[in-house]
Amino acid sequence: MNRQIDWNFRVRELMARAGMRNSRDLVEPLHERGITLSESQIYRLVSQNPDRISFQVFVSLCDIFNVEPNDLLTYTAADIRTKHRPAAVGQSTDVPLLEAYRPVRARVDRGNQDE
């Protein structure tokens, strides 16, 4: 069984709680912590769930908003059931291994030996 993991990066929500209306409001607080990102990078960080993020940026955001990491990032994991293909009509899906790969006895034909 496979697992599907979904996450939610809650920067926009935390910005709203802190009274920040624009992603540009994060430029200076990040710069104070030694993080230099362009406005477009910060916009993507705020508006999308990032696939990768620097640990330094992550903990800096936690410090800016005064939250724990689990407040900034939440995730859910669920089991995914795979669909089984139905067997063809009249065909069984259970084939014992020994019957499926049993060798066939060879028959040697020596032809005409009287000559």
> Has residue 114 been placed in a domain?
no
Q: Any idea what the CATH number is for the domain that residue 55 is in?
A: 1.10.260.40
Average pLDDT of the residues in 9-31? 92
pLDDT the model gives residue 50: 87
Residue 37 has phi, psi (to 5 degrees) of: -125, 150
Tally of domains in the chain: 1
Is residue 85 included in any domain, yes or no?
no
**Is pLDDT of 10 > 80?**
yes
Is 45 inside a domain boundary? Answer: yes
What band does 3 get if pLDDT is binned at 50, 70 and 90?
confident
Parent domain of 24: 2-80
pLDDT in tens, 42-77: 999 998 888 889 999 999 999 999 999 999 988 888
Residue 115 above 60 pLDDT? Answer: no
pLDDT at 88: 58
Residue 54: inside a domain: yes
Full DSSP string of 60-88: HHHHHHT--HHHHEEEEEEEEPPPPPPPP
60 within some domain: yes
| 27 or 90: which leads in pLDDT | 27
